[in-house]
Structure 1
Amino acid sequence: MTLTEKVGQVNQRMYGWHAYERTEGGHRLTEAFEAEVAAFGGMGALYGLQRADAWSGVGFGTGIEAADGAHVCDTVQRYVVEHSRLGIPVLLVEEMPHGHQALDGTVLPVNLAVGASWDPELYAEATEAAAAELRARGGHVALVSALDMLRDPRWGRAEECFGEDPYLAARLTEALVEGADRAGVAVVLKHFAGQGATAGGRNSAATELGARELHEIHLMAAQAGVRAGAAGVMAAYNEFDGLPCVANRPLLSGLLRERWGFEGIVMADGDAVDRLVRLTGDPVAAGALALDAGCDLSLWDACFPRLGEAVERGLVDERTLDTAVARVLTLKFRLGLFDRTGTPAAESSRRGPDPVELSERLARASITLLAHEGDVLPLSPAASRIAVLGPNADSVAQQIGDYTAPQRPGTGVTVLAGIRAAAGAAEVVYAPGCDLVGGDVSGVPEAVRLAASCDVAVLVLGGSSARSGDTVFDSNGAAIVTAGPPSGMTCGEGVDLADLSLPEGQSALWRAVAATGVPTVVVLVQGRPHALPTPPGAATAVLSAWYPGPWGGRAVADVLFGRAQPRGRLPVSVPRSAAQLPVFYNAKDHGYRGYVDQPATAAYPFGHGLSYTTVVHGPPRLSRDRVTADDPALTCRVTVRNTGRHPVRETVQLYVRRVSGSTSWPRIRELRGFAALDLPPGASAEAVFRVDAGTLASPGRDLEPVVEPGEVLLETGPSADRTQGSALRIDQPAGNSGPATPGRK
């Protein structure tokens, strides 16, 4: 390969929507696309050929619809192969944050909702279905957020996280990779590493991570994804130890490749390499810095296209470029791109799981009952009149989250429509009551009048990540917030909040409706946990539906009317106010007593979630209460009984709490397992956890995982704050003075 051809293979600088134009008879390739292929003797990767959203400006009048996706991809592929000397196919890279971000792509609930499901198997099915859509339309690589930990809910990208816990995120990341692999799609995991720890919850801000915090919290999901077979990771915007991730050789080469044995690609985040010019003072040197650190493939930047200059100037060895090119080509071989060009008709028409049905199932599984007084839920079929109120009651756009393509008119089911369809003969009346943002309360009196005339009021509040043509964007697609939420957005990339309370108008509506004395059910449609009133007005029940996707309204109605049981569990702690942050459950165990003016504990803790019945957890029973560090295997059993009148799917959680013997200060407790039990009324069952070195290990002094001698408590329960523990003593191996290093789990 020539130097120019090599540079072309590691570049992904073109927006895919600039590669085509829609014509009366279909789609044609643009001169800009043809010039890009000619400039580099081919093309390494093309980003977002089928992406559609407000940032790209692509909609149904200008974009690629489902029926045309495979044909347009085939046209692109054939052009690249036929108009380059070597005929190397191009990787077609698409966003798949929660479904393929393309016209007619099925939208899944956002990642925070997935985390609330605690159901890796269901998520793997849903991911397989979404990936099958992407592959049938000609795409090869899916970019998916999975690695960011939600350590500060003020961050606008909270909805893209699986939650605050590394173990839960790791299990869901494995499911993501495995589901996509079943559909023949390669996954690039975002973002590596530590992006969820930016100071103050500010998007792309500095992180204040130490190496131990990085290893204990922010790397577990990435390592799980690598072991599951992820094709790549995306280097994050944030820096670690003073170096941006995309230029961080100890992170990308030392840890990821040398210690973990990762052989896939490292992709830069959008424009991330260009940001290095501030360090180097020179775009050619910036590209060389990223390549030498271990970055293989750029995204939209202007620096990587000049790597030929960097080699000629001696800023980077050509062998380093050869290594990156080899990784890109290896992925193309892995995906079978050299076996054929285009997308065969058999593949484009393949049938897989129904993605719409799976999206709705995932939405139902994620709905979390936070509070419930009395027995108003499930709603009685005898109710003759139901008031549905609030700014999120009748909007599909506000159910679907950020990074979502435009939806066809009539797609989806709002909460209002779902309740009307499920209510039978009951009359359902509706009023928004207030706007999503701001303090206008002019609609509150009408909402109160309706509520007072009904048997029950369902108040649908929360936030929105819905973008519009009025939203102003940064060069990387993040929303630019200058004065207040843009176009009603209260969440999403670039929309960080200092105050986690519900907007003033929503809070006033909640108080006024609750004051009527009518039983009130609050449904929160949200992309982050909001701090709720304390106590929560006179609400009879509070549920979080997260952003449940287009069909989430039907899922909410199923739970409200008892057709489905609430089975979601919190993947993140819900704070009482932003002033008490952080409130994640697995903080260091320093015995802090709390604030003077309010509790330091979460309003609703990690793992919390109620049901329509009562459940009793027995204490954990260990097969051994003493083990050695080199042979720590045992079994932990706990009996759970449904003592109420409704069936339940109970999520039993296993935590490890270190009492003594750790080489670093321990955390309060750490999730290390969970199991779902389906219990009819009156039934009991046993959750069985296999405890091994992977369960008990933690980063040692050298940050490698080790099982350390000492005492731990193995705790089980329904949430992080309601556990029972049994003591386990871990002894030093006979004749050995050091701790044991666990093998691969």
Structure 2
Amino acid sequence: MPSQDRTPAPPSASPPYRDPAVPLATRVADLLARMTLREKVGQLNQRMYGWDAYRRTRDGGFELTEALYAETERFEGLGALYGLMRADAWSGVDHGGGPGAEDSAALADLVQRHVVERSRLGIPALFVEEVPHGHLALDGTVLPVNLAVGATWDPALYERAAAHAAAELRARGGHVALVSALDIARDPRWGRTEECFGEDPHLAARLTEALVRGMQGEGDVFAADKAPVVLKHFAGQGATVGGRNSAESELGPRELHEIHLPAARAGIRAGAAAVMAAYNEVDGLPCSGNRALLTGLLRERWGFDGLVMADGLAIDRLARVTGDKVCAGAVALHAGIDLSLWDEGFTHLAEAVERGLVGEAVLDAAVARVLRLKFRLGLFDQPSARPVPVPGHTGRALGTALARACVTLLHNPAGVLPIGPSVRRVAVLGPHAATTAHLLGDYTAPQRPGTGTTVLDALRRLAPPGTDVRHARGCALTGDDRTGLPEAVATAAACDLAVLVLGGSSARTPDTEFDANGAARTLAPEMTCGEGVDLAGLRLGEAQYALLDAVTATGTPTVVVLVQGRPHAVPEAVDRADALLTAWYPGPWGGEAVAEVLLGLTEPAGRLPLSVPRSAAHLPVYYNHKDTEYGSYADGDAGPLFSFGHGLSYTTFAYGPTRLTGHTVEVDVTNTGTRPGRTVVQVYLRRLRTPVWPRSLELRAFQGVELAPGECRTVALCLGADQLSLVGADLETTVVPGPVEIRVAGSAREALDAVPAVLDVRV
């Protein structure tokens, strides 16, 4: 039945909003002027789980569900649809019923045609998809998680991988990519640490820029293989109390501006189309209802004119302070939220406007931002999916390249690695040795059988002919099951080298119980990391330590490989093993990358994106703490086990004296070993005179350098206003004149001992 608030149908002549030749702003204004209040509210709602919008038919096609019909009837159209192609344990979508690479575009086209036909004005929907480390969909390329990307210290490589992820998304009919980028890992007990680029704002900012450039490209209109990015989460979600997901934060304004906002500002300067408001509160105000943050800072001070999306069900949480969901929706809209996610609060916006809780002009501004994004995507001119072929091998190549670049050698005092020709028998042990499931990280779709390479299989394939590679699991990933220890010990004792593959897992299973927003409520048997999996301690399962003790006690040289989504506390590996490296969650082809590094076919190139603590009791251990004289414990070392920026190579490097030419920092770097290798030149500032209390060190520039044996190269890095600025007493970012120490080194720890050059900063 026709809606009572419909306006008369437009005349037969094509209206301006339908004309691609008309300026974008004019098209938006023309369409907005034709919309009813009901239609406007519909554009701001993103209510459904996308997997509830379709089902498979007996002939293998798709049909739309009554749930979708009801949703499009409610507002005579659809603003946005979340997760149409999402496939994971939460959605329950798998290869038996979900859309794969071959038919996702057809499903998207079916849904879009229904939406457009149901809309009086022919307004298409945005299809919003999770792209945390590749598109979260069946047959999507799975890339290493963000923490692994941070370990590459290689924005250019990540930009290429991000571009591929966007192309895959668009080829399948998706439009908008939700990507974690803004959270800073300040407490590794947080289960979502794997979604962070690291602990440092400068490193995160450079990788966020690369993400935006890669996924979005350039220009106001998105190319057919580019996707607008929603940067998650704004702001300060990595600093919740105790590392507990969605808990309160105790961030002061300075900590927020110095540590948690630079990545967001860099992403916005790079042109990010949207940001997602975080769950946490800042100074008592939840981000989704924080007008000072979303409007005062983001829009008015930073000039952001893009879209702001709420996180899942975050608007309804505001009812705790507003009293009901109608007021919650009004508060969120007034604060600066444009698009909801599953909330009821935004469905009542018409009532909120009629009651005077929020002005219709505020509503119109939000609707205009949603419509503008749809016009930029070309959805009005070509609403159906336009698949652009994406070479299947490209994703695997980029994922493997990132995996190789993230593997970080932490400890190798006797040079046990790389594995030499005298090693003829290798024992590959541990709960991660022969599995790919635990290489993938959270937010990963089900993989087809045979996808990926385990460490064990890769070593068997890549080791020199005649090498005997033996295997025993040894122990369980979690708990204290040690029934496999005797076999593992016997295997290690009979070999020349033991490779012990330990770590954690973010692998969800169908028996995991989930909250309404998809966070894990009760854990899968082996799940130790991921959203909803926060830890009080940082220990691995106790059986893994028993396996480490038993294997090293055999006297066989032992290499420990850690596969993890957070820096677990394993000081025993440093004390007892002969070498230690971490691969984070390197993706399905990570086993190949690890094997290549172990065998010396690839040089270890990763550097730590965050500090590794000795234990949870030592937290926090991030390097850029305030520069105070109190830094020790009476009962132990307060420093990290391994510092931010640390990483070893199979060669050695020498850094010459730091030279300054104006604001350009120069240093000669020499490969003093016998193998080629990559080092990351890291430039740290130590402020000598400031209007506020300074930090001990601040990373402000870096550059990866590949050198042949004996090669020397001059590395020059310019420190511009962005690198030299600080957050002043008024919380404005500014360049303050005065002396600044410039320290160039291969890690934050080495920078403390480096001979500084003093730069006299002048405005």
TM-score (norm 2): 0.93
What does residue 39 of structure 1 align with?
74
User: For each residue in 1:697-739, what CA deviation from the matched residue of structure 2 results, as whole angstroms up to 9, or x when unmatched?
Assistant: 001111111111222101100000102243435366xxxxxxx
What does residue 211 of structure 1 align with?
253
Amino acid paired to 1:672: R
For residues 277 and 416 of structure 1, the distance between their equivalents in structure 2, rounded to whole angstroms, comes to 52
Structure 1, gaps ≥5 residues long? 625-633, 733-739, 741-745
For residues 528 and 493 of structure 1, the distance between their equivalents in structure 2, rounded to whole angstroms, comes to 12
What does residue 675 of structure 1 align with?
703
For residues 419 and 673 of structure 2, the distance between their equivalents in structure 1, rounded to whole angstroms, comes to 17
What does residue 394 of structure 1 align with?
434
Assess if the C-alpha contact under 8 Å between 1:184 and 1:335 holds in 2. Answer: no
Assess if the C-alpha contact under 8 Å between 1:642 and 1:648 holds in 2. Answer: yes
What does residue 422 of structure 1 align with?
462
For residues 252 and 453 of structure 2, the distance between their equivalents in structure 1, rounded to whole angstroms, comes to 45
Match for residue 116 of structure 1 among 145, 151, 157:
151
Number of corresponding residues? 718
Displacement after TM superposition at 1:38 (Å) = 1.3
Amino acid paired to 2:423: A
Matched, 1:223 2:265: yes
What does residue 735 of structure 1 align with?
none
User: For each residue in 1:223-271, what CA deviation from the matched residue of structure 2 results, as whole angstroms up to 9, or x when unmatched?
Assistant: 0100111110000000001110000000000000000000100000000
What does residue 303 of structure 1 align with?
345
Displacement after TM superposition at 1:448 (Å) = 0.8
Query: Which SS does the other structure have where 2:539 is aligned?
Result: coil
Match for residue 549 of structure 2 among 507, 511, 536:
511
For residues 648 and 58 of structure 2, the distance between their equivalents in structure 1, rounded to whole angstroms, comes to 55
What does residue 716 of structure 2 align with?
688
User: For each residue in 1:107-133, what CA deviation from the matched residue of structure 2 results, as whole angstroms up to 9, or x when unmatched?
Assistant: 000000000000000000011111111
Displacement after TM superposition at 1:349 (Å) = 2.4
Displacement after TM superposition at 1:514 (Å) = 0.9
Match for residue 68 of structure 1 among 103, 110, 121:
103
For residues 223 and 731 of structure 1, the distance between their equivalents in structure 2, rounded to whole angstroms, comes to 23
Assess if the C-alpha contact under 8 Å between 1:605 and 1:721 holds in 2. Answer: yes
Displacement after TM superposition at 1:519 (Å) = 0.9
User: For each residue in 1:647-700, what CA deviation from the matched residue of structure 2 results, as whole angstroms up to 9, or x when unmatched?
Assistant: 11111100111122x111000000000011111111111110112221110011
What does residue 737 of structure 1 align with?
none
What does residue 164 of structure 1 align with?
199
Matched, 1:656 2:685: yes
Amino acid paired to 2:691: T
For residues 9 and 83 of structure 1, the distance between their equivalents in structure 2, rounded to whole angstroms, comes to 13
1:546-625 equivalences under 5 Å are 546-624=584-662
Assess if the C-alpha contact under 8 Å between 1:457 and 1:518 holds in 2. Answer: yes
Displacement after TM superposition at 1:564 (Å) = 0.5
User: For each residue in 1:313-358, what CA deviation from the matched residue of structure 2 results, as whole angstroms up to 9, or x when unmatched?
Assistant: 11111111000000000000111111112123xx332559801100
What does residue 285 of structure 1 align with?
327
For residues 637 and 727 of structure 1, the distance between their equivalents in structure 2, rounded to whole angstroms, comes to 10
Amino acid paired to 2:139: D
Matched, 1:8 2:46: no
Indicate the larger mover: 4-13 or 434-443.
Answer: 434-443
User: For each residue in 1:542-596, what CA deviation from the matched residue of structure 2 results, as whole angstroms up to 9, or x when unmatched?
Assistant: 0000000001000111111111000000000000110010000000011224001
For residues 375 and 691 of structure 1, the distance between their equivalents in structure 2, rounded to whole angstroms, comes to 37
Match for residue 365 of structure 1 among 401, 405, 414:
405
Displacement after TM superposition at 1:616 (Å) = 1.0
What does residue 7 of structure 2 align with?
none
Assess if the C-alpha contact under 8 Å between 1:589 and 1:668 holds in 2. Answer: yes
Assess if the C-alpha contact under 8 Å between 2:571 and 2:641 holds in 1. Answer: no
What does residue 17 of structure 1 align with?
51
For residues 327 and 535 of structure 1, the distance between their equivalents in structure 2, rounded to whole angstroms, comes to 52
User: For each residue in 1:495-516, what CA deviation from the matched residue of structure 2 results, as whole angstroms up to 9, or x when unmatched?
Assistant: 0111112221001111111111
Query: Which SS does the other structure have where 1:143 is aligned?
Result: strand
Structure 2, gaps ≥5 residues long? 1-34, 218-224
For residues 726 and 399 of structure 1, the distance between their equivalents in structure 2, rounded to whole angstroms, comes to 40
For residues 227 and 692 of structure 1, the distance between their equivalents in structure 2, rounded to whole angstroms, comes to 16
Change (3 A) 1:353 1:419: closer
Change (3 A) 1:187 1:408: same
Matched, 1:81 2:116: yes
Assess if the C-alpha contact under 8 Å between 1:461 and 1:522 holds in 2. Answer: yes
1:218-617 equivalences under 5 Å are 218-344=260-386, 347-351=387-391, 354-423=394-463, 424-481=465-522, 486-534=524-572, 536-617=574-655
Match for residue 141 of structure 1 among 151, 176, 179:
176
For residues 502 and 461 of structure 2, the distance between their equivalents in structure 1, rounded to whole angstroms, comes to 20
Matched, 1:56 2:91: yes
For residues 410 and 217 of structure 1, the distance between their equivalents in structure 2, rounded to whole angstroms, comes to 42
Displacement after TM superposition at 1:299 (Å) = 0.2
For residues 102 and 209 of structure 1, the distance between their equivalents in structure 2, rounded to whole angstroms, comes to 36
What does residue 628 of structure 1 align with?
none
Query: Which SS does the other structure have where 1:488 is aligned?
Result: coil
User: For each residue in 1:474-522, what CA deviation from the matched residue of structure 2 results, as whole angstroms up to 9, or x when unmatched?
Assistant: 11100114xxx53210100010111112221001111111111111110
For residues 562 and 97 of structure 2, the distance between their equivalents in structure 1, rounded to whole angstroms, comes to 34
For residues 87 and 97 of structure 1, the distance between their equivalents in structure 2, rounded to whole angstroms, comes to 31
For residues 725 and 2 of structure 1, the distance between their equivalents in structure 2, rounded to whole angstroms, comes to 67
For residues 759 and 461 of structure 2, the distance between their equivalents in structure 1, rounded to whole angstroms, comes to 56
User: For each residue in 1:61-98, what CA deviation from the matched residue of structure 2 results, as whole angstroms up to 9, or x when unmatched?
Assistant: 12111100111111111111112101001101000000
What does residue 127 of structure 2 align with?
92
Change (3 A) 1:277 1:266: same
Change (3 A) 1:128 1:413: same
Indicate the larger mover: 719-728 or 212-221.
Answer: 719-728
User: For each residue in 1:354-394, what CA deviation from the matched residue of structure 2 results, as whole angstroms up to 9, or x when unmatched?
Assistant: 01100000000000000002122111234221100000111
The runs of 4+ residues in structure 1 deviating greater than 6 Å are none
For residues 688 and 348 of structure 1, the distance between their equivalents in structure 2, rounded to whole angstroms, comes to 40
User: For each residue in 1:24-78, what CA deviation from the matched residue of structure 2 results, as whole angstroms up to 9, or x when unmatched?
Assistant: 2211111110111111011110000000000011111121111001111111111
For residues 175 and 70 of structure 1, the distance between their equivalents in structure 2, rounded to whole angstroms, comes to 27
Indicate the larger mover: 564-573 or 178-187.
Answer: 178-187
Amino acid paired to 1:19: A
Amino acid paired to 1:504: E
Indicate the larger mover: 377-386 or 2-11.
Answer: 377-386
